[in-house]
Amino acid sequence: MHVEVEHIADRRFAIRARDHELTVDDSEDDGAGFRPTELLLGALGACMAETMADFARFQQIPVGRIRMQLVDEVEKAPSRIGAIQIVIEVDTDADEQRQVSLAQVASACKINQTLQTPPTIEVDFSVR
């Protein structure tokens, strides 16, 4: 996977992947795009929802809408997300055992697993 990030102006950046582009703006006001932390929460929620939907299809569990609300709690030292609260709502008439399976499989998504077991991050810095 390959993603590029480029500074546009002030606190605004472009993120590019494949043929897609997204604006990120960490301005104090509403800005012109998502904040980086909103993208992290969105990536986590989308990954969990996709994992649940794939599992439901594979297990033939009838699932309609999947909706998640993710809220972060910020820590100051060091500045980071210290906790994430997730509320999942699923439209399904599956029995209780299958509902439990759906709830458990959400945590198996790649983004959640990465946050639970952080990867090694190497940074190369160069000046032009």
> pLDDT tens digits, residue range 96-108?
999 999 999 999 9
Query: Does residue 10 share a domain with residue 68?
Result: no
Question: Residue 9: inside a domain, yes or no?
Answer: yes
- How much is the pTM? 0.91
The pLDDT value recorded for residue 19 is 97
The domain that holds 86 is classified in CATH as 3.30.300.20
Query: Does residue 106 share a domain with residue 53?
Result: yes
Query: Does residue 89 share a domain with residue 65?
Result: yes
Question: Residue 121: inside a domain, yes or no?
Answer: no
Query: Does residue 63 share a domain with residue 76?
Result: yes
Q: Give the helix/strand (H/E) hosting 65.
A: strand 63-76
Coil, helix or strand at residue 24 = strand
Query: Does residue 44 share a domain with residue 2?
Result: no
Instruction: Look up residue 41 and give its amino acid.
Output: L
**CA–CA distance, 44 with 49 (Å, rounded to integer):** 9
Residue 20, domain extent: 1-30
pLDDT tens digits, one per residue of 37-75:
999 999 999 999 999 999 999 999 999 999 999 999 999
The pLDDT value recorded for residue 32 is 82
User: What are the residues whose beta carbons fall under 8 Å from the beta carbon of 63, sequence distance 6 or more?
Assistant: 52, 53, 56, 90, 91, 92, 94, 102
